[in-house]
Amino acid sequence: MEDTKLVCKSCGSNSFTIGQVGGDFNQGNVRPIDSVFSVGSPFIFNFCKDCGEVASIKVEKPQFFK
């Protein structure tokens, strides 16, 4: 998605940035349902700087779910 020029569906802006939910301390991380002791992985959001509309959400470390 980084190679594509994004246009916000909500406001028409083309100014995007990325942010993260979760991190080293497991708060906000997604983890496998059957693994309650797993640290899991943060979410990476790509969103419009002008209105906050989220263009994409991805799991930073999908290998934790294999």
Average confidence (pLDDT) per 10 residues, the chain, 66 residues: 79 96 80 80 95 96 85
What is the amino acid identity at position 64?
A: F
- Rounded CA separation 37/20 (Å): 21
Q: Where are the domains of the chain?
A: 16-65
- How confident is the model at residue 22, as a pLDDT? 87
Q: Which amino acid is present at 57?
A: I
Can you give the pLDDT at residue 1?
A: 45
| Cα 55 to Cα 64: distance, rounded to the nearest angstrom | 24
Helix and strand numbers (H, E) in the chain are 0, 3
